[in-house]
Chain A
Amino acid sequence: AIRMTQSPSSFSASTGDRVAITCRASQGISSYLAWYQQKPGKAPKLLIYAASTLQSGVPSRFSGSGSGTDFTLTISCLQSEDFATYYCQQYYNYPTFGQGTRLEIK
């Protein structure tokens, strides 16, 4: 199975900050990568698929980049509603998720 490793596992930031979360695959996955946001007690929400395609309705402050083994989710100007846990997921072969990155308010 392809192992997905996110970094950092958790961090804190302030509203208005620009933040980035990285995701590394244990082997090349082309652009078969999705990002999800999950808030406590809620289902995950798709943000980005195909590494950089923004899901309909997702604010443009979210962006994704990368291909092969290294990927980044960037939030350009943090809003209060963005504090959540973020997961990357590969679908190059049987889908696997990263361990999650918890983003907290500083």
Chain B
Amino acid sequence: QVQLVESGGGLVKPGGSLRLSCGASGLNVREYFMSWIRQAPGKGLEWVSYISSSSSYTNYADSVKGRFTISRDNAKNSVYLQMNSLRAEDTAVYYCASGQYDPAVGDYWGQGTLVTVSS
């Protein structure tokens, strides 16, 4: 049974940093593109970033480009999102997802971790 578990969310002040982690079980992340998608409270979904299986290719939403960095450690079966220069508008539940069919189709999703940016 595939399970993705996010961690690292919490309350941070504007301008601060957080690092989110996504650990996988029942799925070998080295075989898949992996993504982060977020959802602000009561709002729709926004694809934040994705990374290729070899880490050679990454892509980001314009809203986070230059501030967020996606990475992966295939040996730990994990994916990460380093978030710097956080803003109030980054407040959201952050989900990680795997991409078996396409880099940007989320077939398995974690339960999400809440990031709140507030002073």
Contact = CB atoms under 8 A, between A and B. Distances in A.
Q: Interface on chain B toward A: helix, strand, loop, or mixed SS?
A: loop
A97 B44 contact: yes
Closest 3 CB pairs of A and B: A91-B104, A43-B109, A95-B104
Interface string A38-62: 0000111110011000010000000
Interface range on chain A (Cβ under 8 Å from partner): 20 to 34
Contacts of B45: 36, 44, 87, 89, 97, 100
Interface range on chain B (Cβ under 8 Å from partner): 20 to 34
Given A43-B110, A43-B111, A43-B112, A97 B105 contact: no
Contacts of A99: 44
B9 interface: no
B44 A50 contact: no
Given A43-B112, A49-B102, A50-B101, A95 B107 contact: no
B105 A96 contact: no
B101 A44 contact: no
A97 B107 contact: no
